[in-house]
Structure 1
Amino acid sequence: MIVKANQPLQRDRSTALGPAPAGPRPERAAPEVSFIICTRNRVAVLDACIKSVQAACRAHAGFAAELVVVDNGSSDRTAERLASIAAASEIPFTPVCEPRPGLAAARNAGLRRARGRVLVFVDDDCAVHRDYLRDLERHYASGEQWLIRGGRVELGDPRDLPFTIKRSWARERLTPDVHPGGFVLGCNMTMHRDVAARIGYFDERFGAGGPLRSAEDTDYLVRAMLLGIAVEYVPDMTIFHHHGRRDRKAIEKLHRDYSLGNGGLCLKHVRHAPWLLRHFYWAARGAFRELAGGPAFDRE
Structure 2
Amino acid sequence: MALQHPEIARERFDELAAPRAGMCSASDRSRPFASFIVCTRDRVQALPACIRSIEAACCSHPTITSQLVVVDNGSTDGTPGELRRLAAASKMTITVVTEPRPGLATARNTGMERARGLVFVFIDDDCEVDGNYLRDLEQHYSTGEKRVIRGGRVELGNPDDLPFTIKRSRLRARLTTEVHPGGFVLGCNMTMHREVAALVGRFDERFGAGAPLQSAEDTDYLVRAFQLGIPVEYVPDMTVFHHHGRKARAAIEKLHRSYSLGNGALCLKHFFKAPWLLKHFCWTTRSACGETFGGARFDPELQLSHWPIVSMNLLGAAIFARLAMSDRAAPTELRPAGETKPGLERGQ
What TM-score do the two structures reach when normalised by structure 2? Answer: 0.76
Secondary structure of the corresponding residue to residue 180 of structure 1: coil
Name the amino acid aligned to 2:301.
A
- The whole-number CA distance in structure 2 between the counterparts of 1:203 and 1:222 is 12
Name the amino acid aligned to 1:14.
R
Deviation at residue 30 of structure 1 after TM alignment: 2.0
User: Are the structure 2 counterparts of residues 292 and 14 from structure 1 closer, same or farther at C-alpha, using a change threshold of 3 Å?
Assistant: closer
Name the amino acid aligned to 2:277.
L
Q: 1:245-256 to 2 correspondence within 5 Å?
A: 245-256=246-257
**Is the counterpart of residue 14 in structure 1 residue 10 in structure 2?**
yes
Name the amino acid aligned to 2:89.
A
Q: 1:33-72 to 2 correspondence within 5 Å?
A: 33-72=34-73
Is the 1:17–1:201 contact (alpha carbons within 8 Å) kept by the matching residues of 2? Answer: no
Query: 1:3 corresponds to which residue?
Result: none
Aligned length: 280
Query: 1:7 corresponds to which residue?
Result: none
**Is the counterpart of residue 295 in structure 1 residue 291 in structure 2?**
no
User: Are the structure 2 counterparts of residues 151 and 278 from structure 1 closer, same or farther at C-alpha, using a change threshold of 3 Å?
Assistant: same
Over the residues paired in the alignment, what is the CA RMSD in angstroms? Answer: 2.3
Is the 2:66–2:117 contact (alpha carbons within 8 Å) kept by the matching residues of 1? Answer: yes
Is the 2:10–2:200 contact (alpha carbons within 8 Å) kept by the matching residues of 1? Answer: no
- Structure 1 runs of 4+ aligned residues shifted over 2 Å read 13-20, 280-298
Deviation at residue 144 of structure 1 after TM alignment: 1.3
Deviation at residue 296 of structure 1 after TM alignment: 3.5
User: Are the structure 2 counterparts of residues 292 and 171 from structure 1 closer, same or farther at C-alpha, using a change threshold of 3 Å?
Assistant: closer
Name the amino acid aligned to 1:108.
N
User: Are the structure 2 counterparts of residues 103 and 287 from structure 1 closer, same or farther at C-alpha, using a change threshold of 3 Å?
Assistant: farther
Instruction: Identify which range, 286-295 or 195-204, moves more after superposition.
Output: 286-295
Flag structure 2 segments of 5+ consecutive residues without an equivalent.
1-8, 17-26, 304-348
1:34-76 CA-partner distances (Å, limit 9, x unpaired): 0000000001000000000000000011000010000000001
User: Are the structure 2 counterparts of residues 294 and 230 from structure 1 closer, same or farther at C-alpha, using a change threshold of 3 Å?
Assistant: closer
Secondary structure of the corresponding residue to residue 44 of structure 1: coil
Query: 1:193 corresponds to which residue?
Result: 194
1:215-237 CA-partner distances (Å, limit 9, x unpaired): 00000000000000000000000
1:176-231 CA-partner distances (Å, limit 9, x unpaired): 11100000000000000000010000000001111000000000000000000000
- The whole-number CA distance in structure 1 between the counterparts of 2:98 and 2:283 is 39
Deviation at residue 282 of structure 1 after TM alignment: 3.7
- The whole-number CA distance in structure 2 between the counterparts of 1:100 and 1:285 is 39
User: Are the structure 2 counterparts of residues 285 and 160 from structure 1 closer, same or farther at C-alpha, using a change threshold of 3 Å?
Assistant: farther
User: Are the structure 2 counterparts of residues 286 and 254 from structure 1 closer, same or farther at C-alpha, using a change threshold of 3 Å?
Assistant: farther
Identity of aligned residues (%): 64
User: Are the structure 2 counterparts of residues 297 and 133 from structure 1 closer, same or farther at C-alpha, using a change threshold of 3 Å?
Assistant: farther
Query: 2:317 corresponds to which residue?
Result: none
1:223-254 CA-partner distances (Å, limit 9, x unpaired): 00000000000000000000011112101111
Larger Rg, first or second structure (1 or 2): 2
Query: 1:77 corresponds to which residue?
Result: 78
Is the 2:208–2:215 contact (alpha carbons within 8 Å) kept by the matching residues of 1? Answer: yes
Is the 1:262–1:280 contact (alpha carbons within 8 Å) kept by the matching residues of 2? Answer: no
Q: 1:278-289 to 2 correspondence within 5 Å?
A: 278-283=279-284
Secondary structure of the corresponding residue to residue 181 of structure 2: coil
Is the 1:16–1:196 contact (alpha carbons within 8 Å) kept by the matching residues of 2? Answer: no
- The whole-number CA distance in structure 2 between the counterparts of 1:244 and 1:250 is 9
Flag structure 1 segments of 5+ consecutive residues without an equivalent.
1-12, 21-25
User: Are the structure 2 counterparts of residues 285 and 52 from structure 1 closer, same or farther at C-alpha, using a change threshold of 3 Å?
Assistant: farther
